[in-house]
Amino acid sequence: MRCFRSVCIVAMFCITHINIQGITLVYNLRIGETTRAVNPSFGTMKPSVIALTPFAQFRHFKNDFKQSAGGMLGTYIFMHKDFFARINAAGGRVHAELDNTLDYGATEADDLLFTGGYSWRLGDYTRVGIAGHLGFPLHTDHILQSVELGTGHIGLGVQCDASHAFSDTQMILLAGRFIHFFPRNITVTLNDVMQNVNFHLGNVLDVLFSYQQSWREHMIYFGYNPTFTLGTDPPPGTIPYVKFTTITNSFFFTYRYGFMIKDLLSAIILGFSYGLTKVPAPFYSGHIINSWFTWGIDF
């Protein structure tokens, strides 16, 4: 009986730890940066951009644990000279399955993310910037359900960017982002007793290295995006109590085509990323596939 109980604890630990990584589109740095990228071939842009992004994500882990998500991401961007502000919101369907023991799905909203930033020119070819992020959960953190859309926690972060243009059509871009997620009380059942637990989601550190090439109405954008989660609490009731660090290495590619609708600039973006995620032994590693299609209008 004691052995069976230990196995159950470890199984719950593994499944819920994967959920702790979260499926969130509003915090996706690859989609956010490629949506904000500007094709210089079209000249000066108008101050507002609105974009809709259907997305699909699939996760497959070594023990045959699977997660998936699909839905719609909405983005509004306002730009004035060197200042920009952005709002991200998303909703969709998430699903998780493990052999014949787990089959869970839910339709829900992702977090609501506000971003604002400012950039400066350093000479004729280099620009640096800084931005702040503030995210609000739109549902409770149901950590024990094996999958959810969004983090379920308030997030506060800072991002630094730098870009250098080799020519009118070629550019490299770098970004680094740190987000702290504030702890939140969640309801769990431990030893047949329902309890409120103060759960710390921890912090996320993102780095992005990318290259941008444009020619007339076309643009490609590709790069590498490692993501680290730091100081995440294990699931409530886990013994020993050890905080987690995980890493996901993602490689991405996008193609953009710009065109005019009367006097408004419009663009479509096709994006794909492949990631390898690693959780400390003896738990899981796996791969993550993201695909998205964005249609945006500048007005």
Q: List the chain pLDDT tens, one digit each, 299 residues.
A: 333 333 333 333 333 444 445 699 999 999 999 888 877 777 678 899 999 999 999 999 887 889 999 999 999 999 998 999 999 999 999 999 988 788 989 999 999 999 999 999 998 899 999 999 999 999 988 866 788 999 999 999 999 999 999 998 999 999 999 999 999 988 877 777 788 888 888 999 999 999 999 999 999 999 999 999 998 887 776 766 778 788 999 999 999 999 999 889 999 999 999 999 987 654 568 899 999 999 999 99
Query: What is the C-alpha separation between 241 and 188, in angstroms, rounded?
Result: 16
Q: Which two tokens stand for residue 198?
A: 């103060």
| Bridge partner residues of 134 (DSSP) | 114, 156
Q: How far is CA 299 from CA 34, 147, 216, 246, in A?
A: 18, 37, 20, 40
Distance of CA 41 to the CA centre of its chain: 29
Half-sphere exposure of 213 (CA within 13 A, CB side): 4
Residue 132 phi/psi, 5-degree rounding, is: -120, 150
CATH number, domain with residue 203 = 2.40.160.40
Q: Which helix (H) or strand (E) holds 253?
A: strand 244-261
Q: Name residues whose C-beta falls within 8 Å of residue 2's C-beta, 6 or more positions apart in sequence.
A: none
Q: Which domain holds residue 13?
A: 2-298
In one-letter notation, the amino acid at residue 167 is S
C-alpha span between 95 and 106 (Å, rounded) = 7
Which residues, including other chains, have CB under 8 Å from residue 32's CB and lie 6 or more apart? 75, 86, 88, 115
Domain total of the chain = 1
